[in-house]
Structure 1
Amino acid sequence: SATATPPPPALAAPLKTSQFGNVKNPAALLRYALPVENKDIRNVQAALERISDDERIPANKARRLKLKQDISAASDALNGGRKAILAANAGAATQLDALAKGLDEFVAIVENAGSDKGLEGEANLQQIPIKQEALLNIVGAVEQGMVKGMAYDVPKQYAESMPTLLGRATVEVELQIANPPNAASGDDGRRKMTLELDGYNAPVTAGRFLSLVESGKYNNVKINRADGFLVQASGGGATSDPIPLEIRVANANRGAPPEYGMTFEDLGMYQDSPQLNFNALGTLGMAHSESDANDATSQFFWAIPDPRQGSLLDGRFAVFGYTTSGMEAVRELSQGDVIKSMRVVAGKDNLIRPKGYEAPASAPAVAAATEEADGGSSSSE
């Protein structure tokens, strides 16, 4: 069965550092991955994303100065670009007003944040990431409103033979950990996750995964690999045709589809970064064997990044989404733990099946966990 394996020693080095630097927040990576070309809203976003780095500055005065500089940059970009932003999203006026008001409030929080400002200062420090997230959620909503469908056509040979996800979809996951770390304190081992699948950049891979979720192939299957590098499972009994390796280049021109069938190394693209990278804990990747990048079927994995060396998987395995909540459970999962269920909670209408494609049957009822992988017994390699 298809198994994700670390690259051999000759390839054991990451490709060029991603354009997103050290961004590890899945929500931020998903915002960057939207097919949006409006520079003004992107400038607002970039300034607010930098807050995450600003927070790590140890000195109170220096931190406050840098935070205020980036909030000011976001305000300037918003005020200067409002007309262009509304031209791209005519319904965003109320959101932009809320964003402007929130930025003013953010300045007030920052001016009184720090250990040198007493208890109020400590409390305001805790408010900084909360306010940042709230404002970035508004930015993300404005950007989503600018999306005008797919930025390219899925190649005909895949669009006519495989399910494709033309947009995004959300999947809820329920897990059962056999030996939870805090069992003595009443931890029952139940965990929940939310997955966001990105068909804008990986329509074939995300489409395959979502189709299998809908058919119940990931209900009651056991984790077959958990080694500190990745956590892997397979669709029980899935016998789907293989799908090609699918990786889209970061900042690709509108109209340019992903690269199919070959790794970035095979293509000589050593200086390129993938649009969807493995920076975030719980990044969703599709597994394939070491010898064939195009034999992926149903085995997928959650990645556990190593901050010391960058990702060894970028450009070699397809990313098709991110874990947006509950990602801490990835570090707790062990071989033999169970995915109790997966269900689609949003974006189902974005899944397009080709003419004549047989829709999967309804998800089966919860039953005993299985280790079946692609029609046979899985193994942890």
Structure 2
Amino acid sequence: MSTIIFFNCCSSLTASKLINPRIPTKGSSFLRTHKSFSWWNRHFLPKCTSQKHVQCQLQNGQQKMRSFSLKECAISVALAAGLIIGMPSLDSSPMAYAANPSLPDLSVLISGPPIKDPGALLRYALPIDNKAIREVQKPLEDITESLKVAGVRGLDSVERNVKQASRSLKQGKSLIISGLAESKKDHGVELLDKLEIGMEELQQIVEDRNRDAVAPKQKELLKYVGDVEEDMVDSFPYEVPEEYRSMPLLKGRAAVDMKVKVKDNPNLEECVFHIVLDGYNAPVTAGNFVDLVQRHFYDGMEIQRADGFVVQTGDPEGPAEGFIDPSTEKTRTIPLEIMVDGEKAPFYGSTLEELGLYKAQTKLPFNAFGTMAMARDEFENNSASSQVFWLLKESELTPSNANILDGRYAVFGYVTENEDFLADLKVGDVIESIQVVSGLENLVNPSYKIAG
């Protein structure tokens, strides 16, 4: 009972770091070295299974909301601590945690609020280094927290955010422009001009005390910021390892719309989920998915897992658990692909724990509700093929790299619109279609164009 509350509230508060497991090399095991955790293997972690701008249409107009009380979270942390203390010793192999640094203090794990907004995660994941644009971005993002304060105080806080962003833009505009890629400079300057005008409009909205208009304008301005930051990326920043270079690769970003027909749900008939795929940090993984989308692999496929922890699909009919490439008549698999802060290229084929990178921060963390990643076999890192999952939890107390998923599964995108409705999906709901709506030009080596 305690561990269930712990998971629901805290999203996955550090199984690997606090409970000393040897990290499994494949995707389904929570603690491979201890039999008492086999229940978690079956119920929580994503694994390959052999189970045989956009509006959602609601019948009652109500959207499901998620919330946790502070009391629940406090209880969960306490229960987690009890679980840690009572945990028997585990694997004594070199990979066991006993050979690793001492357990982190719990205060380290909850020292700061994690970034949970998918748009913000995508902005920070771009391969750029321009402090001036980040100083404009941050106060605009902080408006979300300011709006949680009721009444006049909230708007006063929003006004401070807007003034700070405007000041940063004015002071740092030349540095921002100097950071634009030469081929995209004119477009970037045009966006900055729109951003400047938009912030003046937001300032007027705040002065008029039009609280309802703040969030839509904030979203518009952050879109400008994100587009300016993308204009700072001149070209794909690294070479993919030679053994994967001929595979479908997404060298940049793309976006897809996934339309799902919902069965037996009085609240929801169908929904279109907008998903941004990040090939800068996961070119092989994202490229594989876009290639399958172009083959219409997922069209007509059912949701195959929906248990409150993840929504999963991608297991084709028949004995195969992945995509059979008609040109080879074999299952196409892709390597585990993890990019971390401070590295120029992703790591391939190993989990971060296997690499000894216990404190590494993943560039695409499992922080957001609707984080999209690849499922794989339990004991084989490089076994992902076509099965994908979306996380139905968001990080409350656990920073990235301190949960059971970061560094062990390849994240390659986020649902950025209608992600809340993922929680309404059930096994048997049908993916009517997935369509690439932007960024297809970033796909190289597209196998879907090869006949046979």
- TM-score > 0.5, shorter chain as reference: yes
Higher mean C-alpha deviation, range 21-30 or range 202-211 = 21-30
Alignment of 1:161-240 (within 5 A): 162-182=247-267, 189-234=269-314, 236=316, 238-239=323-324, 240=331
1:286·1:300 contact (CA, 8 Å) conserved in 2? yes
> Separation in 2 of the partners of 1:145 and 1:309?
33
Alignment of 1:218-297 (within 5 A): 218-234=298-314, 236=316, 238-239=323-324, 240-250=331-341, 252-253=342-343, 256-297=344-385
TM-score normalised per structure 1: 0.80
Higher mean C-alpha deviation, range 103-112 or range 17-26 = 17-26
TM-score normalised per structure 2: 0.68
The percentage of counterpart residues that share the same residue type is 39
Q: Which residue of 1 aligns with 2:244?
A: 158
Which one of the candidate residues 337, 343, 349 is aligned to 2:429? 337
Shift of 1:307: 4.4
Shift of 1:304: 0.7
Unaligned runs of 5+ in 2: 1-24, 41-79, 81-103, 318-322, 325-330
Superposed CA RMSD in Å reads: 2.8
Shift of 1:29: 1.5
**Structure 1 letter corresponding to 2:262:** I
Deviations 1:199-222 (A, max 9, x none): 011000001111111112111111
Shift of 1:309: 5.2
Deviations 1:332-380 (A, max 9, x none): 11112211221222212211118xx673569xxxxxxxxxxxxxxxxxx
1:170·1:196 contact (CA, 8 Å) conserved in 2? yes
Secondary structure of the residue that 1:277 maps to in structure 2? coil
> Separation in 1 of the partners of 2:337 and 2:207?
46
**Structure 2 letter corresponding to 1:166:** K
Q: Which residue of 2 aligns with 1:80?
A: 171
Shift of 1:299: 0.6
Q: Which residue of 2 aligns with 1:69?
A: 160
> Separation in 1 of the partners of 2:31 and 2:264?
32
Q: Which residue of 2 aligns with 1:367?
A: none
Shift of 1:95: 2.3
Deviations 1:57-91 (A, max 9, x none): 34633x34432332222112111111122223331
Secondary structure of the residue that 1:110 maps to in structure 2? helix
Alignment of 1:110-121 (within 5 A): 110-113=206-209
**Structure 2 letter corresponding to 1:71:** V
Q: 1:232 to 1:3 in 2, by over 3 A?
A: farther
Shift of 1:270: 2.0
Q: Which residue of 2 aligns with 1:130?
A: 216
2:291·2:448 contact (CA, 8 Å) conserved in 1? no
1:174·1:190 contact (CA, 8 Å) conserved in 2? yes
Q: 1:301 to 1:17 in 2, by over 3 A?
A: farther
Deviations 1:127-161 (A, max 9, x none): 2211211111111121121111222111111113x
1:175·1:338 contact (CA, 8 Å) conserved in 2? yes
**Structure 2 letter corresponding to 1:127:** A
1:221·1:340 contact (CA, 8 Å) conserved in 2? yes
Alignment of 1:141-152 (within 5 A): 141-152=227-238
Higher mean C-alpha deviation, range 213-222 or range 322-331 = 322-331
1:243·1:296 contact (CA, 8 Å) conserved in 2? yes
Alignment of 1:41-60 (within 5 A): 41-58=133-150, 60=152
Q: 2:394 matched to 1:303?
A: no
> Separation in 2 of the partners of 1:277 and 1:320?
10
Q: Which residue of 2 aligns with 1:359?
A: 449
Deviations 1:189-242 (A, max 9, x none): 222122211101100000111111111211111111111000111153612332
1:40·1:84 contact (CA, 8 Å) conserved in 2? yes
> Separation in 2 of the partners of 1:316 and 1:37?
26
> Separation in 1 of the partners of 2:192 and 2:270?
40
